[in-house]
Amino acid sequence: MAIRTPTRTSKPASKKKELTVDQKWATYERALIVMAHPDDAEFLAAGTIAKLCDIGMEVTLCVATSGDKGTRDVTLRRQELAAMREAETRAAAKVLGVKRCIFWGLPDGFLTADHELRGMVVKLIRQFQPDLVMTWDGFRPGFNHTDHRMIGLAVRDALFPAAHDPHYYSEFASEGIGPHRTAELILAGTNEPDFHVDIGPYLEQKAESIFCHTSQIDGRTLEGIRDGWLQIGKRDKERRKRTGYDHAESYKRIEFRRPAGAPGTPVPKKKP
């Protein structure tokens, strides 16, 4: 005898409305920016960082190398340049509202996305427990500085799966640093952006933060930097069409699942 499967009329699954990125960001507490050189964050993403701070995220910036080769001036000692660049980054961070800066001081031009660098990033993620992480797109094709690629790869590999898997870098547990799951990663300097941030309200802060990097701007004035960005916004119709904004910073955006109760999933404090 054929067994009939009882049919049941069930209500269609109620579609939960997907939150916008801004709504998700409003629930985040902390952001971590990990870059290769002292000026990367400002040139790539100062407007976005100003926005993250403005909407109430606690932002930590980590700069992996000292940037001690970032000059054409052969009379300048590398240690002197490194000290100058650290001071420039601290000044720029203040303009943007960044809570803390961390300088690893590794040699400029020699980052390697190895076990050691990945472990340093894992430790950082577990210490500061960011909801959002930003770094370079390490898979960007074509010529790009080796440090940009390496830090991008190390951060990606640190986020998945190392930072939230307690069996990776378990030695940090003795320092009281447990696993952590991040909600999302945004990759700057990408050739394949799928996410754009309107930085119109933060253009002035972006210009001011770039102006702090005296050693990198070839004598440009604050007005020159600001006008340069304003002109790009006015001239570049194609970019405006693509991003939807007069002034935008663009990223590849990746979201991670944070299953409730899984190692490293934080207990949400802000309601979506």
Indicate the residue among 40 and 42 with the shorter CB distance to Zn ion.
40
Q: Which amino acid is at 185?
A: L
Greatest pairwise CA separation for the chain in angstroms: 94
# residues near Zn ion by CB under 5 A:
3
Evaluate the omega torsion of the peptide bond into residue 179 and state whether it is cis, within 30 degrees of 0: no
Decide if residue 108 touches Zn ion (CB under 5 A): no
**Long-range contacts formed by 3-9: CB under 8 A, 24+ apart:** none
Provide the minimum distance between the beta carbon of 81 and Zn ion in the complex, in angstroms, as a whole number.
Answer: 14
Q: Closest Cα partner for 145 from 46, 60, 39, 241?
A: 39
Indicate the residue among 37 and 258 with the shorter CB distance to Zn ion.
37
Provide the minimum distance between the beta carbon of 147 and Zn ion in the complex, in angstroms, as a whole number.
Answer: 6
Provide the minimum distance between the beta carbon of 170 and Zn ion in the complex, in angstroms, as a whole number.
Answer: 32
Decide if residue 37 touches Zn ion (CB under 5 A): yes
Which region among 21-29, 40-48, 103-111, 194-202 touches Zn ion (by CB under 5 A)? 40-48
DSSP 150-170: HHHHHHHHHHTTGGG-TTTTG
Query: Which residue's Cβ has the minimum distance to Zn ion?
Result: 37
Decide if residue 40 touches Zn ion (CB under 5 A): yes
The separation between the first and the last C-alpha atoms of the chain, rounded to the nearest angstrom, is 52
Indicate the residue among 40 and 58 with the shorter CB distance to Zn ion.
40
Task: Judge contact between 111 and 117, C-beta under 8 A.
Answer: yes
Which region among 33-41, 95-103, 106-114, 254-262 touches Zn ion (by CB under 5 A)? 33-41
The first and second tokens of residue 256, run together, are 């991670």
Footprint of Zn ion (CB under 5 A): 36-37, 40
